[in-house]
Amino acid sequence: MGAIDVSVVQSTTGTYVGNNFTAAVSSSSKATGKASMDGGLVVQWDLEESVLDHAFQCLGINTETVDHPIVMTEALCNPNVSRAHMSELLFEAYGCPRVAYGVDALFSHYYNRPQHAQHGTSLIVSAGHHASYIIPVIGGRVDPTHARRVDVGGAHVLEYSRSLLMARYPSLEADFTPPMVQAIVHRVGACAGDYTATIRRLADRNERDAHAARLQLPVDPSHVPTEEDLLRQQQLREERAARMRRMLKQRDEKRLAENKQRLAMLKELQEHLEELEDEEETNTVLAHYNFDSTKALVREMHELKRKVRTIERRLQDPNKEHNGNDDDDDDDDDDEEEEEEEDGNEEEDKYYLLSRSVDELTPEERSLRKKQLFLKNMAEAREKMKIERQEQKRIQAEERARMEEKIKNDLQGFLDEKRREHKLLQEELRVCQRQRRELSDRHSGASKARMRLLVQQTQMNPAKRAKGDGEEDDFGMRDSDWLVYSEISKEQDQSREEMLQQRIEDVEAAIEKYDPNSATNRPKTREGLLEQLRVSRQLSLSVERFQFPEVLFQPPMTGVDQSGLGACFDLVLPRYAKDVQRTLAQNVFVTGGTAQFPGFQQRIHNELRLIRPFEEPIKIFKAKDVSLDAWRGAAVFASSTDNLERFTLTKALYEEAGLGYFVEHFASNRHYLPLQ
C-alpha cells in the first residue's frame, strides 16, 4: 500500500483533494483558496473531513464506519485541543476502534534505526514543508522542553527561490509557477558546506561556469510565426520603410523651398545694405530683420547655402543614409572657393580706406569705406564660420575615433550603451502608441484636452474657458469638432511612430553588427526563430543553486526573524550534560523532504563542528528516503500487533479519559495535562 496525496484546498469554485488538486485548481484559485492546515496544525475541520473521506475512498473503504485501527501523524507539541478535535472526528464520525498518534520525524527515525529509536539517545533534524525542528530523543523518549522549532521549511524555500528566479529572469516571470519552481529547485538546488566561502568563490566567472546548472524551459511552437507570417512582416517593414522615404522626401522638398526663399530674401537684403551710406540706417534695417550685425547676416546666409546644398545632394541620392539633420554634410570645395575669394580680395587690398580717419575722406570715399567695412565684416564672418566648422569636424572625428576605440577595447560597454538606447527608444515608442490609443477615444480626457487646444489655435483664440463658469462642457459631442484632429494630428503621430521605429531598427542593426547572437538579431526563418526562442528560455543557475536552501540556515533572507538550524544546535546541546552532548553529537539523524538537497548532511556536520570540541567525533545518519520514510515508519508501527495493543487509544479509553488524552510511545509527543 503506497502513500496517498491528500492535499486539500477550498476555493470559490469548490473543494479539491488529492491528485486532482494541481490539475483542477488554477493559480488564481490557489491564491484565494484556504487550506485545511496552517503551519502543520489543522484549522479547517470541515476540509479535514473531506481529506479523510478521500483517503478512505482511495483505500477502498466504502462501509459506513472505518473498522480499522488508525495511526495518525501530528506536529511536534501538537496542542491538546487540536488532538481532541481529531479524536472526536475519528471516533464519533468514522467509528474507528483504535487510534495512535505519532510525530512524522520520530516515525522516520524508527523506520531507519528501530532499536535506537526505542531505547537510544539521538538528535533528530527534521526539515519539513512549513517548519523545521531540532528534536532531542533521550533514552527512547522525545524531550520537547529542549526541542526547537524554526518557522522556515520547504514552502519558504520555494517562495524565496521563485523571487530569485524572477529577479534573474524577469522576462520569464509568467513561467515561474509554483510547480515549475519546485521542479527547478528539486533538480538543481544544492546546500553549500560553507555558504560564504562558496559565494566568494563563485564570484570568479570560471567557477560560476563550472558550477552552473543549465535548464531548458518548455517551448510552445504555436507562438512562433509561420513562413507566411514572416513574409507578411517583411512586406510590412518594406512598406514602412517606403513610407518613411516618401515622408523624408516631402519634408526635404518643403525645407529646400523654404531655405531657397529665405536665402533669396537675405541676398536682396544684402544688396540693399551695400547701397546704404548711413551706418545708423544700416543698423536700423538689420534690427528690423532681427540681425544684430552684418556678421550675423552673413552667418545665416552661409548656413542656408550649406543646408540647400545638403538637401539637394540628398534628393539626388535617396539611398544615402539620413539622420534627420540638414547639416550632416560639409562641402570642402565651397570652402576652398571662399578661401580663394578671400585671397583675391586681400590681393586687391579692398580695405585700404578702413585705416584712414573718416574726417579725412571725401563723400565718395566715405561711401566706398562703408562698402569696404561691410565686405570686411562678411569676410570675418566667413572666417569665423570656417574655424567653427573645422572645430566641429575635429570634434566629430574625435567622437568617431573614441567610438572606434571603445568598440575595439570595450565592445561590451559599447553594446550595453546601444542596448540602453534601444530600451529608451522602445519605451518612447510605447508612450507614443499609448497616447495615440488614448486620443483615438473621442470621449477620453486627453483627447478632449488636445482637441480644445487645436480648435483654439485654428480660431486664433488663445483664451481658455475657465472651470466653473456655469457652461456645460460638451466639446467632442459633434463630429465637426474632430475635423482638425483628423487633418492635423493623425499624420504627425504616425510620422513620429515611424521615425521612432526606424531609429530602433538602426540601433538594432548596430547591435547585430558587433553581436550576431544578440536578442535583437531576428532570424529570417521559422527554424531560426524556434532556436532563438529555445535559447531565450534557457536558465543558467550557479549562485542561485546554493541560495535556494540557504534560508533554512539564514531565515532573515526570506523575512523570518528567527535563528537558523545551525544556531539552534547551540541552543539545544548546552542544556545537557557533557556525556549526553557527546552521545547526541554522535547520533544525529536527518529526515524531512526539505533535507533532500545535496550537501545538506555535510552542512549539518559543519554547523555542529563549529560548536563542538576539536576532533570530537560527529556522526550523522540520513533517512533512506527523507520524504516517505515517515509513512513507512508509521506503516511498520501499525503492522505490529503488540504496538497496536499497547500504544493505541481505544474508544472506551477515549470516553473515560477525555478528549485530549492519548497513549504515549517512543514515536509520539509527550502528554501534558492542561493547566487548571
Least Cα distance to 376 among 298, 303, 300 occurs for 298
- Strand partners of residue 100: 71
Task: Give mean pLDDT, residues 504-510.
Answer: 81
Q: Cell numbers at residue 475, please?
A: 466639446
Closest by CA to 501, choosing from 425, 443, 554, is 425
Give the model's confidence band at 13: pLDDT under 50 very low, under 70 low, under 90 confident, else very high.
low
Model confidence at 327, pLDDT cuts 50, 70, 90, reads: low
**Which amino acid would we find at residue 141?**
R
How large is the average pLDDT for residues 209-236? Answer: 83
What cell numbers appear for 568 in the block? 539552534
Read off the DSSP letter of residue 673: P
In contact, 30 and 13? CB cutoff 8 Å = no
Residue 344 has what DSSP assignment?
H
113-117, 367-371, 517-521, 659-663: lowest mean pLDDT where?
517-521
What is the percent of the chain where pLDDT is above 90? Answer: 35
pLDDT of 634: 95
Query: Which pLDDT score is estimated for 426?
Result: 84
675 Cβ neighbours under 8 A, 6+ residues apart: none
Lowest mean pLDDT segment, chosen from 115-129, 329-343, 563-577:
329-343
100 pLDDT band (50/70/90 cuts)? very high
pLDDT at residue 3 above 70? no
Residue 247 has pLDDT above 80, yes or no: yes
pLDDT band at 418 (very low <50, low <70, confident <90, very high): confident
Question: What architecture (CATH level 2) is domain 66-153+553-657?
Answer: 2-Layer Sandwich (3.30)
DSSP 8-state code for residue 671: P
> 427-483: per-residue pLDDT in tens?
888 888 777 777 666 666 666 676 676 666 666 554 444 444 555 555 555 555 555
Compute CA distances 13 → 16, 53, 451, whole Å: 9, 19, 48
What is each CA distance from 229 to 223, 524, 534, 539, in whole angstroms?
11, 11, 19, 29
Between 7 and 287, residue with greater pLDDT: 287
Residue 132, beta-bridge partner list: 127, 150
Cell numbers representing residue 344 in the block:
583675391
Per-residue pLDDT at 281 exceeds 60: yes
Whether the model clears a pTM of 0.75, i.e. scores above it, the answer is no
Domain boundaries, given as residue ranges, for the chain: 66-153+553-657, 158-212+542-551, 227-316, 411-456+482-530
Q: Where are the beta strands (DSSP E) in 87-222?
A: 98-103, 122-127, 132-138, 141-142, 148-150, 213-216
Q: Strand, coil or helix: what is 463?
A: coil
CA nearest to 521, candidates 535, 541, 500 = 535
Longest dimension (CA), the chain: 142
The mean pLDDT value for 586-592 works out to 96
What is the distance between the alpha carbons of residues 371 and 378, in angstroms, rounded to a whole number? Answer: 11
pLDDT of residue 200: 93
Q: Rounded to the nearest 5°, which phi and psi values hold at 34?
A: -125, 135
When pLDDT is cut at 50, 70 and 90, the band that residue 71 belongs to is: very high
63 pLDDT exceeds 80? yes
Cα Rg for the chain, rounded, in angstroms?
42
SS3 letters across 73-89:
EECCCCCHHHHHHHHHH
* Cell numbers that stand for 382 in this block: 566667413
Residues 198, 179 contacting (CB under 8 angstroms): no
How far is the C-alpha of 360 from the C-alpha of 367, rounded, in Å?
13
Tell me, what's the pLDDT at 29? 42
Other beta carbons within 10 angstroms of residue 241's beta carbon come to 14
Q: Are 45 and 2 in contact (CB under 8 A)?
A: no
Residue type present at position 408? K
Beta strand 588-591 with 122-127: parallel, antiparallel or unpaired?
parallel
Give the Cα separation of 360 and 363 in Å (integer).
10
What is the spatial distance between Cα 526 and Cα 534, in angstroms, rounded to a whole number?
Answer: 12
CB 182 within 8 A of CB 593: no
Q: Which residue has the higher pLDDT, 204 or 658?
A: 204
Give the range among 4-13, 249-258, 414-423, 493-502 with minimum mean pLDDT.
4-13
Spatial separation of the C-alpha atoms in residues 48 and 86, rounded to whole Å: 9
Q: What amino acid occupies position 326?
A: D
Q: What is the mean pLDDT of residues 308-322?
A: 77
Rounded distance, CA 238 to CA 240, Å? 5
Which band of pLDDT confidence, cut at 50, 70 and 90, is reported for residue 227? confident
- The answer to whether residues 426 and 504 touch, using CB atoms and an 8 Å cutoff, is yes
Bridge partners of 16, per DSSP, are 9
Mean pLDDT of 283-289: 84
Residue 539, helix vs strand vs coil? strand
| Distance (Å, whole) CA 459 – CA 446 | 20
Answer yes or no: is pLDDT of 492 > 80: no
pLDDT at res. 556: 93
Higher pLDDT, 451 or 321: 451
CA 49 to each of CA 1, 480, 657: distance values in angstroms, whole numbers, following the listed order: 22, 69, 24
Contacts within 8 Å (CB) and 24+ apart, 7-12: 7/35, 8/35, 8/36, 8/47, 8/48, 8/50, 8/51, 8/54, 9/33, 9/34, 9/35, 9/36, 9/47, 10/34, 10/35, 10/44, 10/47
Residues 534-565: pLDDT tens digits? Answer: 888 889 999 999 999 999 999 999 888 899 99
Q: Half-sphere exposure (CA, 13 Å, Cβ side) for 535?
A: 12
Backbone angles phi and psi of 383, in degrees to 5: -65, -40
CB of 511 within 8 A of CB of 518? Answer: yes
What pLDDT sits at residue 589?
97
Residue 480: what pLDDT? 52
Distance CA 253, CA 260 (A): 11
How far apart are alpha carbons 160 and 363 in whole angstroms?
95
Q: What is the pLDDT of residue 473?
A: 55
Q: Within a 10 A sphere around the Cβ of 370, how many other Cβ atoms?
A: 21
Cell numbers at residue 494, please?
A: 504616425
How do residues 125-178 score in pLDDT, each as one tens digit? 999 999 999 999 999 999 999 999 999 999 999 999 999 999 999 888 888 999
Query: Is residue 340 pLDDT above 50, yes or no?
Result: no
Give the whole-number percent of the chain exceeding pLDDT 70: 79
- pLDDT at residue number 444: 66
**Mean pLDDT across the chain:** 81
